Amino acid sequence: MVQQAASHVTKKGLYINGAWVQEENQEFHESLNPATEQVVGYYAAATSAQVDHAVESAKSAFKLWKNTTLPERAQFLWRAAQVFEEKKEHLAQTMTKEMGKVLAESLGEVGVVVETCKYMAGEGRRLFGETVSSGASNRQIMMVREPIGVVACITPWNFPVALAGYKILAALISGNTVVWKPASEVALSAQIFTEVFHEIGLPKGVLNLVTGAGSKVGAQLAEHKDVKVISFTGSTEVGIKLSETAAKTLKRVSLELGGKNAVIVLKDANLDLAAEAIVKAAFTTTGQRCTAASRVIVERDVKDELLQRVVAITKNLKVGNGLQSGVDIGPLINKHQLETVEKYVAIAVQEGAVIECGGKRLLSEQGYFYEPTVLSNVKKGDAVAQEEIFGPVLAFIEVDHFEEAVEVNNDTVYGLSTSLFTNSLHYANRGAKEIESGLVYINNGTSNAELGVAFGGTKHSGNGHREVSHHAFDVMTEWKSIYTTY
Ligand code: NAP
C-alpha cells in the first residue's frame, strides 16, 4: 500500500551523498511483519532522478575513495565492526520483525557482519599484486589490482545484512564506491546497516542506499552507464534478466542464485548425526536459505530408519513469532511465499508423495506460518525434487546405491550445496569429486558456510564468481599491467 510522507512515524528516506534525503512528495511503502501482519515502518520508493543522484554521488566519491590508502579504508571497517556490535540488539530485532527469522538467528547474522568487517579490513592488506620477469634486462613488470568504480549491490531479504556485508565490505575495502538496493521486505534493516557507516563518518557518496521496487530501482542500476559492476544475490530468474541488461553496457556481473540442495545419506552413515543435520539444514530460517536442504537422497536400506528419526525431530520444532523465546521456526516472508509452499505440497501429493509430517499452514495464528513438512515417496523428476520452493519442505528420494545418489543429486539445473553422509573414505572422496555443486560437505549439513571460504554455486546457482573470501576481489578489482623500462 502506498503512503504519503506526512505522518508521525519517522521516515528516513534514502541515503545519498552522505545524508538521509526525501522529496516533498516522496512515495513511501509499508514494511510488514510476517508474523503479525502489522506495519513495522516505511521505506521510500526512490524516483528515477534519485537513483541517478545516488550513482552520480558514488561516481564523484570514487575519485577520492580510490586514492584513500588501504589502511585508512580498513580503519573505517574496524570502526563499523564496533558500531555494529553496539547496535546488535536493535538491528537483530528489526530483522526479525521485518522478515521473521528467530531472534537468535538474527543476532547471529549481525555477528557475521561484525566478523566480516574485521575479515575484510584484514584481507584488504593482502590485495597483493604480482611481478613478472621481463624478457628485457632493463625492464621491470608489475601487475596491480585496481578498483573499478561504482558497484551496485542488489540483495535479497533472507539474509538482510550478512549478504549485503559480503558485497559492500569487499567493494569498499578494494576502493570502489557503492549504491545498494536491498530487498524491499527488509528496507528498514538496510537503513540501520547504512546508519552505521554514517555514524563512523564514511566520506559522503562512498555508500548510498536506494530503496524501492527491484523491477524499477534495480533495473535502472543495471542499465546505468556509470555503474561498472553489479553484485547480485537473489533468484535465478532475476539474475538472468540483470545479466542481459548489464551486457549492453559491458558491466561485470556477479550472481549468487538459487539452489535445490540435497543431503545424500549412504547406508554406512551415522544416522543420528545425519538426521540432526538434515532437520537443521531443511528448516532453519523456515527453509528460506539458498543453501537449505530440500532433498534427502537416501539408500533404500536405511530409508525407514532415517525417515523415522527426521520426522521425530521435526515434530518437536516449535513454530511461532521469532521474537518469542523457545520458537525454532518463524513465518514465511509473505503471503505469496506461503501460497507457493501450499501449491508445491499439493502438487507433490498429486504426483504420489506421502506427507510424513506437517503439510499445512497454521490457521490459528496470524501471519504466514507453515508447518515444517517432510514428504516421502518423491521421485527425482517431481516438481518438489526439481524446483526451488524456498520454504520448509523436505523431500525424501530413495536410491539403490551411491552412483544413483550422485546422479539424482546432479540432475537439477542448480548446483549450490550438497552434503554427503558416509563413513567410507572411498565414497567421501568420490562424492567430493563427482558432486556438481560449488559447496560440498561431508558429514555436515548443507548450510555451514564459513568466513574466508569461497562461497558460490555452479550451473544455474551462479555465474562462476565467488564471495565471502578473498576471491570476491576478483569481482571488485581489475588488473593493470605496468611495464617500466630503465
Ligand atoms: P529476488 O526476487 O530475485 O530479489 C532479489 C533482489 O533483486 C531484491 O532486492 C529485489 O528487489 C531485486 N529485484 C527484483 N526484480 C528485479 C529486477 N527486475 N531488476 C533488478 N533487481 C530486481 O530474490 P528474493 O526473493 O529476494 O530472494 C530469494 C532468492 O534468492 C532465492 O532464489 C534464493 O535461493 C536466492 N538466494 C541466493 C543466495 C546465494 O548466495 N546463492 C543467497 C540468498 C538467497 P525487490 O525486493 O524490491 O523485489
pLDDT score at 411: 98
- Note whether 443 and 474 are same-domain residues: no
Paired residues of 254 in beta bridges:
231
Q: What is the pLDDT of residue 9?
A: 61
- The rounded Å distance from CA 447 to ligand 1 centre is 19
In a domain, 142, yes or no: yes
Q: Report which protein residue has its CA nearest ligand 1's atom 11.
A: 214
256 lines ligand 1 (CB under 6 A): yes
What's the pLDDT at 331? 97
Whether 317 is covered by a domain: the verdict is yes
pLDDT of residue 76: 98
How many Å apart are CA 26 and CA 193, to the nearest integer? 22
Residues counted in the chain: 486
- Domain match, 390 and 304 both: yes
Per-residue H/E/C for the chain: CEEECCCCCCCCCEEECCEEECCCCCEEEEEECCCCCCEEEEEECCCHHHHHHHHHHHHHHHHHHCCCCHHHHHHHHHHHHHHHHHCHHHHHHHHHHHHCCCHHHHHHHHHHHHHHHHHHHHHHHHCCCEEECCCCCCEEEEEEEEECCEEEEECCCCCCCHHHHHHHHHHHHCCCEEEEECCHHHHHHHHHHHHHHHHCCCCCCCEEECCCCHHHHHHHHHHCCCEEEEEEECCHHHHHHHHHHHHCCCCEEEEECCCCEEEEECCCCCHHHHHHHHHHHHHHHHHCCCCCEEEEEEEHHHHHHHHHHHHHHHHCCCECCCCCCCCCECCCCCHHHHHHHHHHHHHHHHCCCEEEECCCECCCCCCCCECCEEEECCCCCCHHHHCCCCCCEEEEEEECCHHHHHHHHHCCCEECEEEEECCCHHHHHHHHHHCCCCEEEECCCCCCCCCCCCECCEECCECCCCECCHHHHHHHEEEEEEEEEC
Ligand 1 atom 22: the closest Cα is on which residue?
A: 214
C-alpha of residue 189 to centroid of ligand 1, in Å: 16
Q: Is the CB of 181 inside a 6 Å radius of any atom of ligand 1?
A: yes
Q: Tell which one of 290, 338, 368, 455 to mutate to probe ligand 1, the residue whose CB is within 8 A of the most ligand atoms.
A: 290
**In this structure, what CATH number is given to the domain that contains residue 362?**
3.40.309.10
From the alpha carbon of 156, which atom of ligand 1 is closest? 26
Q: How many angstroms separate the alpha carbon of residue 464 from the centre of ligand 1?
A: 18
75 lines ligand 1 (CB under 6 A): no
286 and 179 in a common domain = no
* Ligand 1 centroid distance, CA of 51 (Å): 19
Quick check: is 455 in a domain?
no
Query: Atom 32 (ligand 1): residue with closest C-alpha?
Result: 235
Question: Could you tell me if 223 and 354 lie in one domain?
Answer: no
Give yes or no for residue 320 CB within 6 A of ligand 1. no
> What span, in angstroms and rounded, lies between the C-alpha atoms of 218 and 208?
14
- Inside any domain, residue 315: yes
Domain shared by 357 and 392, yes or no: yes
Q: Is residue 334 part of a domain?
A: yes
CA–CA distance, 12 with 9 (Å, rounded to integer): 9
Q: Is the CB of 233 under 6 A from ligand 1?
A: yes
128 within domain boundaries: yes
156 lines ligand 1 (CB under 6 A): yes
Query: Whole domain around residue 318: which residue ranges?
Result: 261-450
**Ligand 1 contacts CB of residue 330 (under 6 A):** no
Nearest to 301 by CA among 221, 400, 193: 400
| Residue 151 beta carbon below 6 angstroms from any ligand 1 atom | no
293 lines ligand 1 (CB under 6 A): no
Grid cell digits, residue 205: 557518496
> Looking at the domain assignment, is residue 457 inside a domain?
no
Cα 438 from chain centroid?
15
Residues 187 and 266 reside in one and the same domain: no
Atom of ligand 1 nearest to the CA of 212: 47
Output the tens digit of pLDDT for each of the chain's 486 residues: 344 444 456 799 999 999 999 999 999 999 999 999 999 999 999 999 999 999 999 999 999 999 999 999 999 999 999 999 999 999 999 999 999 999 999 999 999 999 999 999 999 999 999 999 999 999 999 999 999 999 999 999 999 999 999 999 999 999 999 999 999 999 999 999 999 999 999 999 999 999 999 999 999 999 999 999 999 999 999 999 999 999 999 999 999 999 999 999 999 999 999 999 999 999 999 999 999 999 999 999 999 999 999 999 999 999 999 999 999 999 999 999 999 999 999 999 999 999 999 999 997 668 999 999 999 999 999 999 999 999 999 999 999 999 999 999 999 999 999 999 999 999 999 999 999 999 999 999 999 899 999 999 999 999 999 999 999 999 999 999 999 999
Mutate to test the pocket of ligand 1, among 105, 154, 459 (most ligand atoms within 8 A of CB): 154
In angstroms, rounded to a whole number, what is the distance separating the alpha carbons of residues 262 and 287?
13
Q: Are residues 235 and 271 in the same domain?
A: no
Give yes or no for residue 214 CB within 6 A of ligand 1.
yes
Active centre residues (catalytic): 256, 290
Confidence (pTM): 0.97
> Are 398 and 274 within one domain?
yes
Structural domain contains residue 310? yes
Are 244 and 275 contained in the same domain? Answer: no
Specify the number of domains making up the chain. 2
Same domain, 268 and 250: no
Instruction: Clarify whether residues 277 and 349 are in a common domain.
Output: yes
Kindly state whether residues 472 and 423 are assigned to the same domain.
no
> What CATH number corresponds to the domain at position 35?
3.40.605.10
Distance 47 CA to ligand 1 centre (A): 20
